Structure 1
């Protein structure tokens, strides 16, 4: 191991020691009540990152990030060059996006199918003369898993006496989908006039939601061929880049070589991001735009 590599390893160890001391000091400092109640800033970013990944990848992505950090340290120690370490971390952390280079509507399809099934259960649990809230409570055991948590929160709010309109609007905000807004609008109309025909309306909404999910599933299947071709193109380009970057000769040791590697890596990442944005499947346009504050 050269002196430069030993120096870089020492610098990394020094940074880790400083980070450890800083975390230890923060652990003994009291946290103000207002900051303790607020979620960390990075929580929303992490949720958005995992939201864009298929289920198994999202569940394991924390470990993938840890592996990326380890890969960066190993590459820095082996090569003593910062860009190689940065690119190694980017490759490991980007494996899910390399394998799934284009967006998919699977999550929305599953959620719409779950919403359709839940509406059918509500129609079966709704008895003439009883409230919609009683039907929601009575159908809790039949709530499909993809929407189980938002429905559980909705039922808890209604049971604790939260204003019905606020609870339903908060439910729509949590799912943030035009199809859910359409359902909530029916709920809001029902609690205002308590009209008849709620069972038939719920069944019709269920059928319409199931049809939308089926149309999305057909569209998603048609896009699968394009995603497969794009995946292999991305893998081939990455393999070529690794072949070029694996040459640890004097060319890549210069400042210009490091900048060139960084530019190629940034171009590859930018292409993947651009492709995902082009193929992103957005939820249906919102029909309710009021965000309710203070709903417990």
Structure 2
């Protein structure tokens, strides 16, 4: 036993020394974004809709009211915390299925739009004109984004900038693949580009089919978690109308036991939700905070250098 403790202590000391050396000298591994940026990315990013913020504030206010009401009416602090947390937690449990359904619908619309672009190219249109024309009959799930892309191009935006703004609105790695292909081929036309877009649309359709199968498999455990949550919350609520049922939890020891059971129950629900959550892959057209890959810093070009280059250029050649 003594030798085992000595061995473990030695390993801890060596690990600590390695950590100190790595912290001082540094490593060649890519640096991740700051922790607060990764948390904001996981929470949906800093730019959220007004309806989302309003809904979260309403749920938080309702949770505080339920917590205060239960605590004052029954004197059970942990029970009030549990029911107050349920006001926020129950919608939180349902969110993954809604997010997944929205993403799958968006990808399906993206495949349809890409196929439509290929058809317009086969009619002899250029890619830029095809993107402007594609606003007519655009899929409902992407009608707003496609209309925005068309408007930007009509207002004189460079196609690459308009497409990057389009990709930012979609905020999905598969959309980045389609957008990157369009950016690289913005000056091309002909059957080769049309065939490439048709193949890309087929790839997106295959991805949609796989995601639908995955979500169908996840639906069963999600349903189990929801029913388990509803039953548990229902039992807790009903218990407050039967004083003999909640009497053991009114003491200090009872509060500690209830708090321990509540923490375990919430941790189990959080784990099951995490296992069935819609895992998003970091995008590659932007510096995504969820990715470990960092873009290299580019040195700005000095104005004096630009003037010298322009002055030294031969006459008739634009710099």
Q: Name the TM tier (shorter chain).
A: 0.5 to 0.7
Tell me if 1:142 matches 2:137: yes
Give secondary structure in 2 for the equivalent of 1:212.
helix
Match of 1:221 in 2: 216
Q: Offset of 1:93 from its aligned partner?
A: 2.3
Relative distance call for 1:270 and 1:95 in structure 2 (3 A) is same
CA distance in 1, matches of 2:146, 2:268: 38
Indicate conservation of the 8 Å contact 1:102/1:275, yes or no.
Answer: no
Match of 2:162 in 1: 167
1:74-85 maps to which residues of 2 (within 5 A)? 74-85=69-80
Q: 1:258 aligns with which of 247, 255, 259?
A: 255
Tell me the TM-score normalised to structure 2 length: 0.61
Indicate conservation of the 8 Å contact 1:151/1:171, yes or no.
Answer: yes
Match of 1:206 in 2: 201
Q: Offset of 1:113 from its aligned partner?
A: 0.8
User: RMSD between aligned alpha carbons?
Assistant: 3.7
CA distance in 2, matches of 1:221, 1:59: 31
Relative distance call for 1:276 and 1:238 in structure 2 (3 A) is same
Tell me the TM-score normalised to structure 1 length: 0.65
Q: How many residues align?
A: 243
Indicate conservation of the 8 Å contact 1:103/1:276, yes or no.
Answer: no
CA distance in 2, matches of 1:82, 1:185: 54
Give secondary structure in 1 for the equivalent of 2:185.
helix
Unmatched 5+ stretches in structure 2:
1-42, 289-319
Match of 2:68 in 1: 73
Question: Larger Cα Rg: Structure 1 or Structure 2?
Answer: 2
CA distance in 2, matches of 1:245, 1:263: 19
Tell me if 1:283 matches 2:283: no
Indicate conservation of the 8 Å contact 1:115/1:147, yes or no.
Answer: yes
Give secondary structure in 1 for the equivalent of 2:136.
helix
Match of 2:104 in 1: 109
Give secondary structure in 1 for the equivalent of 2:179.
helix
Q: Offset of 1:114 from its aligned partner?
A: 1.0
Q: Offset of 1:250 from its aligned partner?
A: 5.8
Deviations 1:35-90, CA, capped at 9 Å, x for gaps:
xxxxxxx9847959x99xxxxxx997776555434323321331244433222211
